[in-house]
Amino acid sequence: MRHRQLRTAALALGVVVLLDVLRVWLPSIITVFGRAAETPAELLGAFALGWFVLALAAPVLVRRLGPHPVGAVAAGVLAATRLALTAAPGGRVQLWLGCAGLLAGLVWLAATAATVSRPVPGLAYGLAVAAVGHALLGTEDLVWRGGVLGWVGSVLLVAAFLAAQLAASPPAGRVALDGGAASEPGGGAGRAAWLLVGPVLLLAGQVALAPAVWDAAAAYWHGSVDLPGLALPPARLAAVPEVAIGLFLAAVLLRPPRPVARLLWPAALVVGAGLFATDRAGWLAPAVLLAAAGLGGCLALVDGPGGPSPSQDLGMAADPGTDGGRRRGFAVVGGMLGFAIGAVAYYAAYDLGYPNGWVPALAALAVAVAAVLAPPLAAAPVRWPVPVWTVLAAMLLTAVGGGLHRPAPAPKPPATPPAAVRVVAYNIRMGFGLDGRLDVDALARAVNGSRPDVVLLSEVDRGWLLNGGHDTLALLAGRLRMPYVFAPAADPVWGDAVLSRFPVRAGRTEPLAAHGAPTGAQALGVTLDLGGRDLAVVATHLQPPPGEGPVAQAGEVAAFATRYAAGRPLVLGGDLNTEPGDPAFAEFTRAGLVDALAAARPLRTSPADEPRSQIDHVFVTPGLSPSGAAAPRGTASDHLPVAVTLALP
């Protein structure tokens, strides 16, 4: 393998390892340092951005000590922290390991930039490998899995990265560059490509190459008009994941005439990000597909002229301490600072209440402008070290991942109606426990311990980059072997869900007015077939305005629920952010609903380690007789689940 190909492989594998660290670091900032919105957004943002600002010293360090020793040490630290995160018990240890791994990854990027002026092949393949691997794992990282699979996979990944990094280093007495001098033709293009690493990672993780978002988009495509989030297992009717990864790689590898590409790919990327920013669930699939194709095409446009000369491949290029390498180092760290600013700004919107759709839109615009302004390629076409058939291979592996993690099949109605149903309502905090670790097994145990027939979930995440890009709903439903219905609230991949052992006959979701609350809310109604009898179920998560109770939303949900039930037995539950005796709580009793947990009060549910508040509730129509109410203790979320048995009239 030629030296340049080894550097491409090292960069690609390093991107995969760095993305693994980011998928731990980002949620750790929110759940451990941020303590789930208890820490002020300004302090959280300053802490997060500080690590990227600190990394701005990396290019100076690389210039003084040389890129290869700095890169080797940084790669070793990145690999070590990646392995340590698999063993970390969570909490502050996980947070500081994530910070150390992030900083090492940024230093490694700066050192790599000093010797590689053409990062697009390694970046593109790294993003593709990470996305396909995440799809094969059902969006649950090896970092969180542990066990034999987690450790063997993690060790193999880290070993491959370190081996490629070592093999890509030049022999003693030689310096291997992919073009380093500032005066080198195409040096500006190289800096532009490195500067785009941050925005590209943001767009890939948030929209274009996020397998959890792919699956959510596919679910919307085969839902109904009233309930677009209804998953129809076992078949996935919309092949959004396979098409997305295929479009991305094809756009990178297969290059149309430049005048066409310069118009087509930037336009596709901007339109895709714009559709994503509208927060319209029905537009999520076209947003993903357009963004995937546009991102791949824009990367092809900024892929620098021609490549290195034969003498550079033999290791006889200029001194890596030149201004060109240093400028590329500052470019990549500055681009990653842009990634951090975008991620923090997107999250802060849910505390501060401004529209955050502009974050991916601005990132897409930056990449699109760079692609339009990029100089044309050299006359000879640039050859990539991997053949075009990799497009089909990536699509096939993505399809295999979808087959391995297929939703549970729709159940058949029982022969006779049951005498009672067991209902659980649970705010799952996007799957993260009080220790800050994603532990879907612990969530499943917390739910299964009550042996539920129906589960109402709040704070369901189906692909937020800020939480690591996991489809928590599909992962939990798979462990519970229950099909699900999802309804978006804050945006198309964050909301509420109903899981049921009975078939769903119909459903409807209704957005709730914000009334000054920064985070969106909705009411999800589904009709369950109990074997000749219907049960109406409504799941919601009320969002109170700052300093107030969710009185107005409570009234809206109560009115929606009674309309939707239309005289049928009704169950309404979720995180209502109100306590018994509060005005918002009274809105439900005023609508004629009964507190199903009243016999067990006080039944405090938040915070999970020291419950003080009773904010998770279940209400029913008078014909249903509740018994056995409980709030099992555990720390799989920051809330406790509430469970109750309802005897049917």
CA–centroid distance for 70 within its chain: 31
Model confidence band, residue 178 (pLDDT cutoffs 50, 70, 90): very low
Q: Are residues 370 and 516 in the same domain?
A: no
Q: Return the closest-CA partner of residue 294 out of 202, 367, 345, 187.
A: 367
Q: Which domain holds residue 493?
A: 407-647
| pLDDT tens column, 482-505 | 999 999 998 899 999 999 999 998
Q: Are residues 393 and 500 in the same domain?
A: no
pLDDT at 186 over 50: no
Lowest mean pLDDT among 102-111, 127-136, 250-259, 587-596: 250-259
Q: If you ran DSSP here, which 8-state letter would residue 462 be given?
A: B
| pLDDT tens column, 131-174 | 999 999 999 999 998 889 899 999 999 999 999 999 987 654 45
Q: Are residues 265 and 196 in the same domain?
A: yes
CATH number at residue 542: 3.60.10.10
595 vs 558: CA distance, rounded Å: 13
Q: Are residues 474 and 399 in the same domain?
A: no
177 vs 198: CA distance, rounded Å: 23
Q: If you ran DSSP here, which 8-state letter would residue 283 be given?
A: G
Instruction: Please tell me the predicted confidence (pLDDT) of residue 646.
Output: 98
144 vs 96: CA distance, rounded Å: 16
Instruction: Please tell me the predicted confidence (pLDDT) of residue 330.
Output: 94
How many folded domains does the chain comprise?
2
- Average pLDDT rounded to a whole number, residues 244-270: 91
Q: Are residues 393 and 412 in the same domain?
A: no
Classify residue 2 as exposed, middle or buried by CB count within 10 Å of its CB (0-12, 13-18, 19+). Answer: exposed
523 vs 512: CA distance, rounded Å: 7
Instruction: Please tell me the predicted confidence (pLDDT) of residue 28.
Output: 94
pLDDT at 609 over 60: yes
15 vs 127: CA distance, rounded Å: 7
Domain boundary, last residue among 377, 403, 429: 403
Model confidence band, residue 352 (pLDDT cutoffs 50, 70, 90): confident
Instruction: Please tell me the predicted confidence (pLDDT) of residue 160.
Output: 96
CB neighbour list of residue 547: distance below 8 Å, 6 or more residues apart: none
Q: Are residues 260 and 288 in the same domain?
A: yes
Percent of the chain beyond pLDDT 70?
A: 88
Domain boundary, last residue among 373, 403, 433: 403
Q: Are residues 309 and 415 in the same domain?
A: no
Q: Bin 196: left if φ > 0, else alpha if -120 < ψ < 50, else beta.
A: alpha
Q: What are the Cα distances from residue 351, in Å, to 40, 391, 427, 563?
A: 9, 41, 18, 32
Beta bridge partners of 630: 643
| Beta pairing class for 534-541 and 504-512 | unpaired
Q: Are residues 499 and 577 in the same domain?
A: yes
pLDDT at 259 over 90: no
CATH number at residue 276: 1.20.1250
Model confidence band, residue 231 (pLDDT cutoffs 50, 70, 90): very low
Lateral strand order in the sheet of 642-647: 484-491, 494-500, 454-461, 420-427, 642-647, 625-630
Q: Are residues 388 and 375 in the same domain?
A: yes
Q: Are residues 95 and 165 in the same domain?
A: yes
Of residues 188 and 371, more confidently modeled? 371
Q: Are residues 190 and 282 in the same domain?
A: yes
Q: Are residues 87 and 172 in the same domain?
A: yes
pLDDT at 513 over 90: yes
Domain boundary, last residue among 380, 403, 426: 403
Radius of gyration of the chain (CA): 26
pLDDT at 277 over 80: yes
604 vs 243: CA distance, rounded Å: 47
pLDDT at 533 over 60: yes
- Average pLDDT rounded to a whole number, residues 390-417: 89
